[in-house]
Amino acid sequence: MKKTVLFLILNFGFVTANAQTLIGNSINGSFGEELSFDIAIKDNGDRLIFGSPNYPNNNNGIVKEYSRGNNNWYLTNVIDNDPVEASRFGTSLSISNNGNRVAVGAPFSGFFQPFGIGKVYVYDYNVATSEWQQVGNVIEGINTTDLFGGKVSLSADGNRLAISGYLADVNGITNSGLVRVFQFNSSNSQWEQMGNDFYDNESGKDFGYRSCVLSKDGSTLVIGIPGKSSNQGETIVYRWYESGSFWGQVGATLMGDNTTERFGSSVVVNHDGTLLTIGSVSASVNNVNNVGRVRTFRLVSGSWVEFSTSLYGENESNYFGGNLAMSDDGTVLAVAAVGWESSQGRVYVYSLVGNEWVQKTSFNGTSHSRLGDALSLTSDGNRIALGSKPNGGYRVMLYDIANVLNANQFVTENTKIYPNPAKENISVSLNSSLEFINSRIYNAMGQLVTESNSKVINVQHLSKGLYFIEVQTNKGKGVQKFIKE
């Protein structure tokens, strides 16, 4: 029986109506192809890159690049350079901000049943040939069971790279996990390790499993250890000190509040490593299991200070916070709850207002599709890529959410649409302090269907259903929804 956490809805604050715009068509994969944990977006939104680690149904794996033209997505490149059988090439990937460098993990490469040493490949985009070419050496794990490359994270300029292998054995500790950071040396075209290895002092705590992230400026490394202390979980932050060429811990180790919550299941950090958001995918609330929780911390005088009210899932087994994405400046946050509504999946988008996260919109998956299994934001937070796994295949969609993020709460609250429902015309009524400029109407898929410079808009031609009207005023935009009968 589904249990709903009713009181948690209050934490979401003001929610605008959905007016996100689907960019191009959805990209669909065939049965059994599988989708990587990561989707990479070029900052201007005209390139999407993601892995299909099971392709072609034998775990070899490939990486696909799609480019946008005429408002559609076209397959323009395939990267499949790992010749090792069942390497699951494309399990993880990360992209530089300009979209011209991508790191790809093949954690089962060097395959020894049932695990692998793991390798990571880095590629640069050759503008002249429109192809991806390997840059630097292949980066490998240490032992035959490391799964090195299970998670990769590039800096904004693509010159620093963090890699995790959560089953690595280090210093005689079985499955201690391993994280290493590398810097590209352009003089010899080699990836060279920066500083020491990172590993846990206990076995099997999922050190850096899916929660190893490098800040975009390349100076801060965040590692989640969700299995620590009976799955209570920990997260540790390190800063690179150029003067001494070493990594030093920043602030105290952050810990979950309760056993089994798996604090550190997911982590994201802003550009300079001063704002940190952490997911506890298995957190329970008021005896409701696996609701999920997300907490945010700010670095203040060398210490991590929790500054925002925690965000929670809505129901039992939502697994809210299992996947996160953040804009570079830390003001836009996307949170996945892949278990929502019997694994349909739901992704929530928040904007940081003062010291609180305010929900701006959400996306719902389809039956058993686990929407949010893959998730990414552009550096400015204005575009979001969503991955799901319907019917044994995959689906990738890119949305423009700039209008939603820019919607003004005051404008929305002081805008009225009538009649609602409507058959022929709708009218816009504004508070006396607001001046009408224009309006746009979007359908439930986020597609623009009508624009008007008048407060009275003819909607007779629209099909029956739910629509969203975005009203532009002298004080910003507001969004309202209406029903066309």
Q: Which domains does the chain have, with CATH numbers?
A: 6-405 (2.130.10.130), 409-484 (2.60.40.1220)
Per-residue pLDDT reduced to its tens digit, 298-342: 999 999 999 888 999 999 999 999 999 999 999 999 999 999 999
Instruction: Assess whether pLDDT exceeds 70 at residue 4.
Output: no
pLDDT tier for residue 246 given thresholds of 50, 70 and 90: very high
Element housing 66 (H / E): strand 62-69
- Decide: 57 and 34 in contact? Cβ < 8 Å: no
- Residue indicated by tokens 């607001």: 434
Phi, then psi, of 342 in degrees rounded to 5:
55, 45
d(CA 447, CA 456): 21
| Helix (H) / strand (E) containing 340 | helix 340-343
What average pLDDT does the chain have? 90
Longest dimension (CA), the chain: 74
The set of residues, in sequence order, having a beta carbon less than 8 Å from that of 188 and lying 6+ positions away, is none
* Confidence check: pLDDT of 446 > 70: no
Spatial distance between the Cα atoms of 30 and 11, rounded to a whole number of angstroms: 39
Q: What is the pLDDT of residue 339?
A: 96
pLDDT at res. 445: 62
Structure tokens at 116: 């692998």
pLDDT, mean of residues 247-253: 98
157: number of Cβ within 10 Å: 14
Three-state SS at 236: strand
pLDDT digit string (tens) for 155-166?
Answer: 999 999 999 999
Minimal CA–CA distance to 398: which of 348, 434, 356, 363? 363
Residues 141 and 223: their CA atoms lie apart, in Å, by 18
Predicted TM-score of the model (pTM): 0.83
Residue 11 has pLDDT above 50, yes or no: no
- Please report the pLDDT score of residue 114 as a whole number: 61
Q: Residue 17's pLDDT band (boundaries 50, 70, 90)?
A: very low
- Contact indicator for 69, 86 with CB cutoff of 8 Å: no
* Residue 352: strand pairing partners: 357
Confidence band for 112, pLDDT divided at 50, 70 and 90 = low
If pLDDT is split at 50, 70 and 90, which confidence band does 411 have?
confident
Helix locations, 356-435, DSSP H: 402-406, 409-413
Give residue 10's pLDDT: 29
With the CA atoms of 408, 411, 414 and 420 taken in that order, what torsion angle do they form, in degrees rounded to the nearest 10?
A: -80
- Who wins on pLDDT, 15 or 447? 447
